Amino acid sequence: MVLKNEDGYELWLRYHLVDDAELLAVYRQQIREIVFPGDSPTLRVARGELQCGLEGLLGHEVMLSESVTEDGAIVCGTPESSAKILEQKLVDLDTVGDEGYVISQQVVDWHQTIIIAANSDKGVLYGVFAFLRLLQTQQSLDGLHIVSAPKVKLRMLNHWDNLDGTIERGFAGHSLWDWHKLPHYIDPRYTDYARACASIGLNATVLTNVNANALILTEPYLHKVAALADVLRPYGLQVYLTARFSAPMEIGGLSTADPLDADVAAWWKAKVDQIYSILPDFGGFVVKANSEGQPGPHDYGRIHADGANMLADALEPHGGICIWRAFVYDADVQEDRAKQANSQLVPQDGTFKANALLQVKNGPIDFQPREPYHPLFGAMPKTPLMLEVQITQEYLGNATHLVYLAPMFKETLDADTYVKGPGSTVAKVVDGSLDGHDISGMAAVTNIGDDRNWCGHPFAAANWYAYGRLTWDYTLSSEQIADEWLRMTFSNDEDFVDTIIQMMIDSRESVVKYMMPLGLHHIFAEGHHYGPGPWVDGIRPDWTAVYYHQADAEGVGFDRTASGTDAVSLYNPPYRDQLANVDTCPENLLLWFHHVSWDHVLKSGRTLWDEMCLMYQEGVNEVRQMQQTWETLEGKIDAARYMHVKKLLVVQEREARWWRDACLTYFQAFHGKPLPEGVEPAEHDLDYYENIVHYYVPGIPERRFDKIGTHS
């Protein structure tokens, strides 16, 4: 059978006819009517989703009924919206809080039914999506009893979308938000965006770039924001904006933005009041301050907490929150960048207002292919810390490399800070349980744009999906999430799913190998970060590559032990001791923490140089393996998506070779050692690689190029 071509627009919400005839017959028996009273906007969209999903999956319309009239009813609602749910007195509802749900087979009015119940309309919506997921992934409904609640309260996407429609570090087209046509024209795609987010439990979205434009806070733009919020609200998505710290000067006519200035505080209060008068359920602000040229409290000799608290004060009467980013480092400060956030923020622990949170990147530098967990986790027990990850592949091959990020997100969440003994994981810091915080959250920089398939690479949507699922339940395994996503996105063919799960799981480690093995970091091309640039030098040191790899004739790596910057001391024993010793430091972080001789012998018995070479080669080999694996699956999915992935894998293999050759040629020049057996020689000399220039790489604002070079 030839499968119909698909363009990926439906994401994982494809409600195609269940293709297992036996199972379909069983489902048709088990699902015969829907009892779903209630008329709130959220219940309406939940009911619509259920009807539409079932119609597609079962191949016929399932009728709405006022009461349970036969076996096979699906009864949905809250104890308020549905008399039947109230009658059932489901004890499990007491455990699922505001947003969780219960899906359970029950006898109602002497009939076999499936109940989808929650304490809130939003919970019902999440339950509906979870139920549809069961059918999409062809699970048995027999004996169904699912009790589920999110582990983290704020489950947020951060769009780095600019008001001119570009997206910082966006590789899938332009911004979804059509500010020019808003508020009068509402793109139907906003609804599909909201559906996708709600289906994986996301409940908050920051519409604008953290490198913020104050214009978004002006009245005309606020009306545009409100129109968008009207579409997102029924799906439980609360809208947040980024606040430019200097807005009082840029749009308020003040001469200062000093957070301790009474006029500045009054301006923000009035601005926040205005926002809430236009958008009563506004979530609050996300702020990047005194980082990479953004204005902030340091400009006035104040500290981060002064800035955050001023905004938190303005938001507090409306129930809003201020999320302050901990991605702070300063070009004029000599201290190791990996330590600067701790130096600045740890002394301020306990001084932030109750409605202020700190948003901390997964690692201390900047979303590198591999970083140790950020040492702020565990170091600020009095402040709720959100985890920020990056879904968009700024440092992972943009939208041309197939890299499944769940293993990377989980690596951080599962990392043990040991701050209160073994088991003090980053996840427990983030969900608030370790230090008893009520408020908790995760944020991710999205990879969503207006490309027809939303995220560019057909597999990139898996990372949006995986992130959402992990915010709901970070104990899910990467394999389980990949399994769900593949079944819903492509096919339930067991062979296809089993084969591709493994390929997805391995893909993160492959990209680390061909880009930055053994703890190397930040050796990207300058500015756009597309491709290798281990030679980058001559700009502010903490944006160069040479600052991070410190290669010389003797060795390579950043000494962050006591003999170097001592960043290792920010971690707690026993992990600290493990990291500090070159013999016990995990080899995948070796060059992050140590400057190591090229001849240093690793666990494999090979020297560092040989091991590095072989890892780069292995990365390339693994991409070739991915190509072969993918090609065995021709015909198991539609030809359009099959070919799209196949062609992108060709690009990925080419770029993996580019990484290997550019980096090894560069490092080899320090010591002249030969490549070990099994490593393919580079096609070109170092000069060639250093002179590769790419113009207009997506994801950065257009700028004039000042160098004409080899266009690879």
Given the complex with ligand GCV, which of 201 and 297 has the nearer CB atom?
A: 297
Query: Closer to ligand GCV at the Cβ: 168 or 638?
Result: 168
Among residues 131 and 524, whose Cβ is nearest to ligand GCV?
Answer: 524
Q: Smallest distance, Å, CB 543 to ligand GCV?
A: 9
What is the smallest separation between the CB atom of 350 and ligand GCV, expressed in angstroms? 25
Tokens found for residue 129: 């999506």
Nearest residue (CB) to ligand GCV, 127 versus 170: 170
Stretch 109-148: interaction string toward ligand GCV, x if CB under 6 A: ----------------------------------------
The distance of Cα 40 from the centroid of its chain, to the nearest Å, equals 30
Number of amino acids touching ligand GCV (CB under 6 A) = 10
394 is catalytic: yes
25: helix, strand or coil: helix
**Window 288-317: contact mask with ligand GCV (x via CB under 6 A):** x---x-------------------------
Q: CB–CB of 134/172 below 8 Å?
A: no
The DSSP call for residue 247 is H
x/- map, 231-270, ligand GCV, by CB under 6 A = ----------------------------------------
**What 3-state DSSP class applies to 421?**
strand
Q: Which of 92, 178, 292, 587 is catalytic?
A: 292
Q: What is the rounded CA–CA span in Å between residue 275 and residue 204? A: 17
Which residues, including other chains, have CB under 8 Å from residue 338's CB and lie 6 or more apart? Answer: 364, 365, 560, 565, 567
Q: Which of 316, 394, 484, 559 is catalytic?
A: 394
As measured in angstroms, the least distance from the Cβ of 297 to ligand GCV is 17
Q: Does 169 bind ligand GCV (CB under 6 A)?
A: yes
653 binds ligand GCV (CB under 6 A): no
DSSP assignment of 48-74, as one string?
A: HHHHHHHHHHHSSPPEE-SS--SSSEE
Could you count the other beta carbons within 10 Å of the beta carbon of residue 586? 14
Decide if residue 6 touches ligand GCV (CB under 6 A).
no
Residue 265 neighbours by CB distance under 10 Å: 18
Residues numbered 325-354 forming contacts with ligand GCV, rule: CB under 6 A:
327
Nearer to ligand GCV, 169 or 600 (CB): 169
**Rounded least distance, CB 49 to ligand GCV, Å:** 33
User: Judged by CB, which is closer to ligand GCV: 13, or 323?
Assistant: 323
Of 168, 250, 526, 638, the one binding ligand GCV (CB under 6 A) is 168
Task: Write out the binding residues for ligand GCV, residues 389-428 only, by CB under 6 A.
Answer: 394
Closest distance to ligand GCV from the beta carbon of 521 (Å):
13
Task: Closer to ligand GCV by CB, 326 or 637: give it.
Answer: 326
Least Å from the CB of residue 448 to ligand GCV: 15
Nearest distance from residue 358's CB to ligand GCV, in Å? 14
Nearer to ligand GCV, 160 or 593 (CB): 160
CB of 640 to ligand GCV, least distance (A): 32
Number of neighbouring beta carbons within 10 Å of residue 279: 22
User: Which CA distances in Å does 309 have to 241, 257, 285, 306, 354?
Assistant: 17, 14, 12, 5, 9
292 has catalytic annotation: yes
Residue pair 117/9 in contact by the 8 Å Cβ criterion:
no
Active site residue 610: no
Handedness of CA 627, 633, 637, 639 (dihedral sign): positive
Say how far apart CA 422 and CA 413 lie, in whole Å. Answer: 14
**What sign does the CA torsion over 577, 583, 586, 591 have?**
positive
Facing residues of 692 across strands?
710
Contacts for 479 with CB less than 8 Å, ≥ 6 apart = 501, 505
Question: Residue 431 is encoded by which pair of tokens?
Answer: 């969900």
Among 27, 126, 160, 352, binds ligand GCV (CB under 6 A): 160
Contact letters for ligand GCV, residues 495-534 (x by CB under 6 A): ----------------------------------------
Residue in 65, 112, 191, 211 binding ligand GCV, rule: CB under 6 A: 211
d(CA 107, CA 110): 6
As a whole number of angstroms, the distance between CA 483 and CA 404 comes to 12
Q: What is the closest distance, in whole angstroms, from the C-beta atom of residue 210 to ligand GCV in the complex?
A: 5
Closer to ligand GCV by CB, 160 or 377: give it.
160
Q: By C-beta, is 57 or 516 nearer to ligand GCV?
A: 516
Closest distance of CB 164 from ligand GCV, Å = 15
With CB under 6 A as the contact rule, the residue among 6, 306, 313, 366 that binds ligand GCV is 366
CA distance 689 to 696: 18
* Pairwise CA distance, residues 183 & 504, whole Å: 40
- Greatest alpha-carbon pair distance for the chain in Å reads 81
In a 10 Å sphere around its CB, with 0-12 CB exposed, 13-18 middle and 19+ buried, how is residue 220 labelled? exposed
CB-based contacts of 463, cutoff 8 Å, min separation 6: 391, 393, 403, 404, 405, 406, 447, 455
Our CB check for ligand GCV shows the closer of 108 and 212 to be 212
* Token pair listed for 633: 């699956």
Measured from the CB of residue 45, what is the shortest distance to ligand GCV in angstroms?
32
Taking CB under 6 A as the criterion, the residue among 50, 58, 124, 210 binding ligand GCV is 210
Residue 56 in tokens: 């597609």
- Cβ atoms of 48 and 36 within 8 Å: the answer is no
Instruction: Summarize as ranges the residues that interact with ligand GCV (CB under 6 A).
Output: 160, 168-169, 210-211, 288, 292, 327, 366, 394
Catalytic residue IDs? 292, 366, 394
